[in-house]
Chain A
Amino acid sequence: MSNRISPPFTPEIMSLAPPESVLATSGDYHLSLTSESAGRFRGALKEFLRQSECEFVALIEHSGAVLLHESSPAAAAAARRPNPDTLGVLAAGLFGSTQMLARELGESGAPEVFCHGAGRHFFVCPVSETFALLAVFDETVVVGVVRLNAHRAAAIISASLKEVVKSRTGYGEVSSIPTAPAENPFLRYN
């Protein structure tokens, strides 16, 4: 059975600069989290954890990407810790589907999601149109306190979000991303 890769995708050709039309084609924006932005957001998340006494908080994008996450010292030391990326992906799916459900019901604006578990609860609230905050907490924490502080943190973060969102071909900050061409990341497994 032949391995049919069309000619433009051989490694040699890929190392050449793509034509102009290709430059404008990889999604409408990307996220670029600098150390300065990360520090600012992390400060807001840590303050949220301190005031709300939650176990875990994450800033997620609606595609499922987790920008940042923080855990309380007790949660960070726990033997069994949930994977933050998995939490982010699931929370983004949940939040997105809740938004769609609300819209179907004639609601406008972004809803909040609160799940009351047997011992552990979570809360998702919008930070902007495409970002949300996920908070995880146990039964000792008052949900109203979580909600209040989540909105405070969301307000702080949303004020700085434009630092993170970059045009794919536009005029964002000069980034320090490497420009080396990709080789064959996975062909060795074939």
Chain B
Amino acid sequence: MALVNHETREVQFKIVYTGPALSGKTTNLQHIHGRLGEHERGDLLSMATSTDRTVFFDYLPIDSVLINGYETRFQLYSVPGQAAYNATRQLVLRGVDGVVFVADSGPDELENNVEALRVVDENIARNNPGSRLDDLPLVFQYNKRDLPDAVAMEHLNLLLNQRSRPAPFFDAIASQGVNVFATLNAVAQDTIGRFHAAEAANAAAAQASPGHVEPHLAAVHA
């Protein structure tokens, strides 16, 4: 759910980093926060326990490209990976525009990766009527590639990315910043690209049939 503010000439998107517990979601946001200049990003807001485990979400607003006078802003969130926090995860997934799935390359984490992906899909369907994970801009980041026993990328991709339209994927070492921005770039690019395509379709449809309101928006208007 992008927010277009014609008054401030700003387009805002929400990107959520999700994945199993301890896969490196917060580490991604910390690296992005550390690398961007202060004029390009806001403060990193972390709602974490005393042991630095995310309890609700992490939040980082960042500015991106200027397109035809409209500033593009991304609100980056990461959600807690632990199963116990599914309720709060659902809240954060409301109105999501793009998803980064941070998978753990550890051999003992395969099952957790698959389960986390299943839950994300379920949560998106529940909180964004009419949307599925496959419908959204999605990027896989296979993190912790520096583990000596890391599972082969091909294996992870076979396990997680067998989709009707396979998502882009990256090997990464988020703790060292490897491919953190490449991942962000891919999801941002896809999100912006789809938004502009949808806007063009909107404009064409409005000219063909002005004044029509789709039934599925009735609840939002209420």
In the assembled complex, the Cα of A111 lies from the Cα of B129 at a distance in Å of: 22
Given contacts A17-B197, A177-B70, A182-B192, contact A128 B1 (CB under 8 A): no
Contacts of B45 in A (CB 8 A): 86, 89-90
In the assembled complex, the Cα of A184 lies from the Cα of B130 at a distance in Å of: 29
In the assembled complex, the Cα of A143 lies from the Cα of B190 at a distance in Å of: 45
In the assembled complex, the Cα of A162 lies from the Cα of B188 at a distance in Å of: 28
Tell me if A31 and B2 are in contact (CB < 8 A): yes
* Number of residues of chain A lying within 8 A (CB) of chain B: 73
Tell me if A9 and B190 are in contact (CB < 8 A): yes
Q: In the complex, what's the smallest C-beta–C-beta distance from A90 to chain B, in angstroms?
A: 8
Tell me if A182 and B67 are in contact (CB < 8 A): yes
Task: Name the segment of A46-54, A92-100, A145-153 touching the other chain.
Answer: A92-100
Contacts of A14 in B (CB 8 A): 189-190, 193
Contacts of B72 in A (CB 8 A): 182, 185
Most buried by B among A2, A83, A85, A168: A168
Contacts of A61 in B (CB 8 A): 1, 3, 95
- Selected from A11, A35, A93, A174, the residue in CB contact (under 8 A) with B57 is A93
Contacts of B212 in A (CB 8 A): 170-171
Tell me if B196 and A181 are in contact (CB < 8 A): yes
Q: In the complex, what's the smallest C-beta–C-beta distance from A26 to chain B, in angstroms?
A: 4
Is B149 an interface residue, CB under 8 A from the partner?
A: no
Contact with B along A19-30 (1 / 0, CB 8 A): 000111111111
Task: Name the segment of B18-26, B101-109, B110-118, B168-176 touching the other chain.
Answer: B168-176
Contacts of A188 in B (CB 8 A): 181
Contacts of B3 in A (CB 8 A): 30-31, 33, 61, 65, 67
In the assembled complex, the Cα of A86 lies from the Cα of B131 at a distance in Å of: 27
Contacts of B65 in A (CB 8 A): 182-183, 185
Tell me if B4 and A185 are in contact (CB < 8 A): no
| Secondary structure dominating the interface of B | mixed
Q: What is the chain A residue whose CB lies nearest that of B207?
A: A174
* Number of residues of chain B lying within 8 A (CB) of chain A: 91
Tell me if B67 and A3 are in contact (CB < 8 A): no
Most buried by A among B3, B130, B167: B3
Taking A27-B97, A177-B70 as given, write out 18 further A-B residue pairs in contact, using a Cβ cutoff of 8 Å, ordered by the A residue number.
A25-B131, A26-B137, A26-B191, A29-B217, A30-B3, A30-B4, A31-B4, A61-B1, A61-B95, A63-B1, A129-B222, A162-B221, A167-B217, A171-B205, A174-B203, A185-B189, A187-B181, A189-B181
The 4 A-B pairs of least Cβ separation, nearest first, read: A63-B95, A178-B68, A182-B192, A171-B212
A residues sitting closer than 8 Å to B (CB atoms) are 1-6, 8-9, 11, 14, 17-18, 22-35, 38, 61-65, 67, 83, 85-86, 89-90, 93, 96-97, 100, 128-130, 161-162, 165-190
- For this complex, 19 residue pairs linking A to B, each with C-beta atoms less than 8 Å apart, are A3-B170, A9-B190, A22-B197, A23-B198, A25-B136, A26-B135, A28-B128, A31-B2, A33-B6, A65-B14, A168-B202, A169-B201, A170-B212, A171-B211, A175-B4, A177-B70, A183-B65, A187-B182, A189-B35
B residues sitting closer than 8 Å to A (CB atoms) are 1-7, 11-12, 14, 35-36, 42-43, 45, 56-57, 59, 61, 64-65, 67-70, 72, 75, 77, 87-88, 90-92, 94-97, 128-131, 135-137, 145, 153, 166-171, 178-182, 184-186, 188-203, 205-207, 209-214, 216-217, 219-222
